Amino acid sequence: MRKEAEFTAFAEGGATRLRQIAYLMCRDWHLAQDLTQTTLTKMYVAWPRITRRDTDPFLYARKVLLNSLLDHRRLRSSGEVATDKLPEQPDTPDATAVRLTLLDALAQLPRRDRAILLLRHWEDHSVEVTAEILGVSTSIVKTQSMRALAVLRSHLGEDREVLFS
């Protein structure tokens, strides 16, 4: 029962954050919800083993979530449609339009670059932890992170002064 209570406390504390990460990766709230539930289910099944390890369960959950998401999209052959055009924007960058632009620009990035940016700059992980979670080298994380930020800046164009001042 203690394990059950521990899991419930962990899941209730982390579900919103997990779903946010999933949404930022897939831009689909329903898929994000499904993947979060799948992740928590796997966490529940593996909970006795996870808690025996001296690692942060959320780190494990995030890894399961990202892998589930990448696997899901891999097997679906990605419903994602890559485009080099951003949604039309009004000439006057009002506040709402600027806020929408960053999410849209993020969605233009390749999946892995998006994951790197989110882990590094949204989740605030070190280069090393990001590399471990994604199974890539630290140099890849560094170069792709810089490149992805540069792509974001170029997508955002003039708005970058507002967003990345």
Binding residues vs other proteins (CB under 8 A): 4, 7-8, 11-12, 15-16, 19-20, 23-24, 29-31, 33-34, 36-38, 40-47, 49, 53, 55, 60, 63-64, 67-68, 71-72, 74-79, 96, 99-100, 102-103, 106, 112, 117, 120-122, 124, 132, 134-137, 140, 149, 163-165
Return d(Cα 160, Cα 165) in angstroms, integer: 7
C-alpha 53: how far from its chain's center?
Answer: 24
Q: Which is nearer to other proteins, 19 or 155 (CB)?
A: 19
Smallest gap from Cβ 92 to other proteins, in A, equals 18
What distances in angstroms separate CA 41 from CA 66, 135, 165, one per listed residue? 15, 23, 41
Q: Which is nearer to other proteins, 85 or 159 (CB)?
A: 159
Q: Which is nearer to other proteins, 88 or 148 (CB)?
A: 148
H helix or E strand, kind and range, residue 151: helix 138-156
Q: Which amino acid is at 129?
A: V
Q: Which of 103, 49, 50, 43 is nearest to 67 (CA)?
A: 43
Q: Which is nearer to other proteins, 88 or 95 (CB)?
A: 95
Smallest gap from Cβ 87 to other proteins, in A, equals 14
Smallest gap from Cβ 63 to other proteins, in A, equals 4
Smallest gap from Cβ 29 to other proteins, in A, equals 5
Smallest gap from Cβ 91 to other proteins, in A, equals 21
Return d(Cα 35, Cα 127) in angstroms, integer: 25
CB 159 within 8 A of CB 94: no
CB 122 within 8 A of CB 24: yes
Q: Which is nearer to other proteins, 5 or 92 (CB)?
A: 5
